[in-house]
Amino acid sequence: MSKNSIHFEISERKILLRLFDVLFVGVTLFIINKIFAFDYFIIEQSNWSGVLVLLIYIWGFGTVFELYDLQKSSRLETVLPSIILTASVSILVFLLTPYFTPVLPANRLQILHFYVAVSGALLLWRIVYITFISSPRFYKHVLLIGETATIEHIVKAFKAADPNYKIVGFVNCEIGSKESLAYKDIQEFSPKCIEAIVEAEGISEIVIAAYNSEAITPEIYAQLLRLLEQGFPIREYTKVYEDITYRIPVQYVGKDFYKYFPFSRSNKNKFYLSNKRIFDIGLSVIALFSSVFLLPFLLIGNLICNRGPLIYKQERVGKNGKVFTIFKFRTMVKNAEQDGAVWAQKNDVRVTRFGGLLRATRIDEIPQFINVLKGDMSFIGPRPERPIFVKELSEVIPFYQTRHVIKPGLTGWSQVNARYGSSVDDSLIKLQYDLYYIKHRSFFLDVNILMKTFSTVIFFRGQ
């Protein structure tokens, strides 16, 4: 067996980030309380409610401002803005909720000390994390066994999802294949010495990425079996892909689709569905009522810049393939598709200046709460697509129609994770996220999406 390096899984790193955020903040506040005349926030039993509220604020706003994004957390220059935003908003809200928190100090300078302590503690822990936990010494070293045709896609997907997941080698399992691997940073090894490679390279895990299981030769199989008997982790590519990227690789599922789509019990759970519907109705009523105050500004902006109807209607495909009419505030010029349906593009020239503002702030989506109230949509779910595009995509992307087994949504797992969709390839990525949501649908995943939606709106990303 190899001398495996110590590594932390994605879930473990996220737990470490959250736990040590609180620990570093708590220890820092305790120290300055003992050393300096700082008595606004005291770490003691009598102030347990204040400590709990601060913890909730840091974790909550940290999630919104992507403080726990592993890609951002691996580099100081990318995580620093998240630290500043999290500390600033958390302390501001903490100060503005005196019912749950200590009364403001008479010496206002203590507020500055409080801010410096919290932000400094978060920064110190992130420096420690980047120096040790996120350093190469804690990378998970992986050996990939499969076919050369899939290697580039796999490496790129894993690298984008987890900076600590390092594929250090590749073994081509195709018999008689003369095609060599020409990919940067990936070394090709001989199928005859897999056990020796595991030992020499400090491999922590072997991933089998053979689309055709018959491609695994008896020689490779025998070595894998010996490693497995010794307790060495050997995993199948699609499972690793799902665990790391939070997507289902439908293009590699093949005929064994029933193995990959054991859909969440929540899809038939009456308690979950009824509570979700209550949430949808309540949020829709609040959103539509609040939009009344925006209506005068929208009418004026539309009259000056858009010069046409404010409300735009379009057919979309909903649950079980049922077509319904969706409502939006118009953001494009009139007759934008007089020559036929066209993919929406990022920085689309058909979008007016006022329409661009509506899109950036997501105000154009508000009328869709009417669809949510009617029951055509839910707040969270796959984004509804137009019938003509559904027909085209269903012909080229496997299992595309599967996304219609639940209600479409205003926001969803693909909306908060994928980039702007303007091609078949982008639609494939979005479908992978949608199927992951359908498979793992739950209250906690919905909350995660809700928090990420705030991040998407704040940083002007997504659809």
What CA–CA distances, in Å, run from 32 to 55, 87, 305? 18, 17, 55
Same-domain status, 100 and 165 = no
**Which tens digit of pLDDT belongs to each residue from 283-305?**
999 999 999 999 999 999 888 88
Assign 218 a pLDDT band (cuts: 50, 70, 90). Answer: confident
Answer yes or no: do 148 and 126 share one domain.
Answer: no
Q: Which residue has the higher pLDDT, 99 or 265?
A: 99
What integer pLDDT is reported at residue 18 of this predicted model?
Answer: 95
In this prediction, residue 2 carries a pLDDT of 45
In a domain, 323, yes or no: yes
Same domain, 360 and 269: yes
The pLDDT value given to residue 1: 43
Percentage, residues of the chain above pLDDT 90: 43
Which amino acid would we find at residue 264? Answer: S
Mean pLDDT score, 5-29 = 88
pLDDT tier for residue 255 given thresholds of 50, 70 and 90: low
Same domain flag for 382 and 433: yes
Q: How far apart are CA 91 and CA 57, in angstroms?
A: 8
**Is residue 25 in a domain?**
yes
Determine the structural domain holding residue 183 and report its residue range: 139-245
Q: Is residue 252 part of a domain?
A: no
CA-closest candidate to residue 10, choices 162, 203, 130:
162
Looking at the predicted structure, is the pLDDT value of residue 227 above 50?
Answer: yes
**Predicted local confidence at residue 375, as pLDDT:** 95
* Residue 81 tokens, joined: 């803005």
The residue from 133, 160, 188 where one domain ends is 133
34 and 125: one domain?
A: yes
Q: Which residue has the tokens 């005196």?
A: 98
Given a cut of 50, whether residue 20 has pLDDT beyond it is yes
Q: Are strands 311-317 and 323-329 parallel, antiparallel or unpaired?
A: antiparallel
Domain stops at, among 114, 133, 152: 133
State both tokens at 330: 């118009």
Two structure tokens written together for 30: 């305790």
Of 84, 114, 133, the one marking the end of a domain is 133
- Give a yes or no: residue 4 inside a domain: no
How many other β-carbons are positioned within 10 Å of the β-carbon of residue 176?
4
Considering the domain boundaries, does residue 24 fall inside one? yes
The better pLDDT of the pair 47, 213 is held by 47
* Euclidean distance between CA atoms 320 and 235, whole angstroms: 34
pLDDT of residue 180: 56
User: At CA 236, angle to CA 254 and CA 142, rounded to 5?
Assistant: 135
Secondary structure element (H or E) that encloses residue 145, with its range: strand 140-146
Q: Looking at the structure, do residues 124 and 152 belong to the same domain, yes or no?
A: no
pLDDT tens, position by position, 326-377: 999 988 877 666 666 666 666 667 888 888 888 888 899 999 999 999 999 9
Q: Nearest Cα to 328, choosing from 379, 368, 285?
A: 368
Specify the range with the lowest mean pLDDT, choosing from 55-64, 150-159, 172-181, 320-329: 172-181
- Give the burial string for 87-98 (b: 16+ CB within 10 Å, else e): bebbbeebbeee
* Whether 151 and 177 share a structural domain: yes
pTM higher than 0.75: yes
One domain for residues 128 and 144: no
**Pair (224, 292) in one structural domain:** no
**Residue 433 and residue 246 in contact, taking contact as beta carbons nearer than 8 Å:** yes
Place of tokens 């991040």: 455
Instruction: Look at residue 365 in the predicted model and tell me its pLDDT.
Output: 93
Q: Are 355 and 331 in contact (CB under 8 A)?
A: yes
Query: Residue length, the chain?
Result: 463
For residue 276, tell me if it sits in a domain.
yes
Are both 384 and 450 inside the same structural domain? yes
435: in domain: yes
Per-residue model confidence (pLDDT) at position 117: 92
Q: How far is CA 390 from CA 316, 338, 343, 394, 397, in A?
A: 9, 20, 12, 6, 10
CATH code, domain carrying 232: 3.40.50.11060
408-455: per-residue pLDDT in tens? 999 999 999 887 666 788 888 999 999 999 988 999 999 999 999 988
Identify the burial level of 63 via C-beta atoms within 10 angstroms of its C-beta, where 0-12 means exposed, 13-18 middle and 19 or more buried: buried
CB count in 10 Å sphere of residue 158:
22
Judge whether 255 lies within some domain.
no
Determine which of 3-17, 137-151, 271-285, 438-452 has the lowest per-residue pLDDT on average.
3-17
- Residue 112 tokens read as 């500055």
HEC assignment per residue over 306-333: HCCCCEEEEEEECHHHCEEEEEEECCEC
Tens digit of each residue's pLDDT (9 = 90 or more) over 171-186 = 888 766 555 555 666 8
Number of domains present in the structure of the chain: 3
Percent of the chain exceeding pLDDT 70 equals 89
Which residue has better confidence, 265 or 430?
Answer: 430
Q: Which residues of 348-361 are buried (b: 16+ CB within 10 A; e: fewer)?
A: beebbebbeebbee
How far are the Cα atoms of 1, 140, 172, 226 from residue 200, in angstroms, in the given order?
A: 10, 15, 18, 17
Residue 32 has pLDDT above 90, yes or no: no
445 and 320, same domain (yes or no): yes
- Give the pLDDT confidence score for residue 82 in this predicted structure: 94
Report yes or no: 432 and 247 within 8 Å, Cβ to Cβ.
yes
Rounded to whole angstroms, how far apart are CA atoms 210 and 410? 37
In a shared domain, residues 143 and 121: no
